[in-house]
Amino acid sequence: MQFPKTIAIGADHAGFEFKSSLILYLQELNIEVTDFGTYSKDSVDYPDYVHPACKYIEDGHCEFGILICGSANGVAMTANKHQKIRAALCWDNEISLLARQHNDANIVCIPARFITLEHAKEIVNTFLSTDFEGGRHQNRVNKIACC
């Protein structure tokens, strides 16, 4: 798989620094980034940034997204309320790989308080460069949405 041309990104205050660095990293890979905020380390509510990023993906403006908060649990839970989103909390390369290969995840959720920025870059790279395997996994993925 080649890297996508565009990607959505969002974070809360705990993920702001990672988000800023990941945007620069993605731009070095010639990926256009649509930034849904936040734009500082001031305390915010992560759903205010997650929902617009997910809607952007659901509306077909891009295929993939990155969401970042302290544990990544909040952004993942919020994102997964959207029917066309399969957000995976990834703290390891192998989990990122399997989230794409087996689950056709379209958003990677990064726990900024538990991994290094370099590890986050590796996870994002793995996520964005891995294809969904389909096959036996497709039937399972088809059963995820509740509508």
Q: What is the pLDDT of residue 2?
A: 84
pTM recorded for the entire structure: 0.96
In a domain, 104, yes or no: yes
Could you give the number of structural domains in the chain?
1
121 assigned to some structural domain: yes
Tell me the percentage of the chain whose pLDDT exceeds 90. 90
Tell me, yes or no, whether 63 lies in a domain: yes
Read off the tokens for 13: 């205050």
Q: What is the mean pLDDT of the chain?
A: 96
- Determine contact, residues 66/124, Cβ cutoff 8 Å: yes
Q: What is the pLDDT of residues 31-58, one digit of tens each?
A: 999 999 999 999 999 999 999 999 999 9
Domain span at residue 54 reads 6-142
Contact 50, 38 (CB under 8 A): no
Q: Is residue 137 part of a domain?
A: yes
Catalytic (active-site) positions: 69, 102
Quick one: pLDDT at residue 105?
A: 98
Q: How far is the C-alpha of 85 from the C-alpha of 55, rounded, in Å?
A: 9
135: its two tokens: 């096959």
Cβ contact 52:36 at 8 Å: yes
How large is the average pLDDT for residues 88-112? 98
Q: 147 lies in a domain?
A: no
Residue 132 lies in a domain: yes
Quick one: pLDDT band at residue 147, thresholds 50, 70, 90? Answer: low
- The answer as to whether 110 is a domain residue is yes
CATH code of the domain in which 93 resides: 3.40.1400.10
User: First-to-last CA distance in the chain?
Assistant: 29
Q: Tell whether 1 is covered by a domain.
A: no
Q: How is 13-76 classified by DSSP, letter by letter?
A: GGGHHHHHHHHHHHHHTT-EEEE----SSS---THHHHHHHHHHHHTTS-S-EEEEESSSHHHH
Please state the separation of Cα 66 from the chain's center in Å.
3
Whether the Cβ atoms of residue 75 and residue 69 lie closer than 8 Å to each other:
yes
Nearest-Å Rg of the Cα atoms of the chain is 14
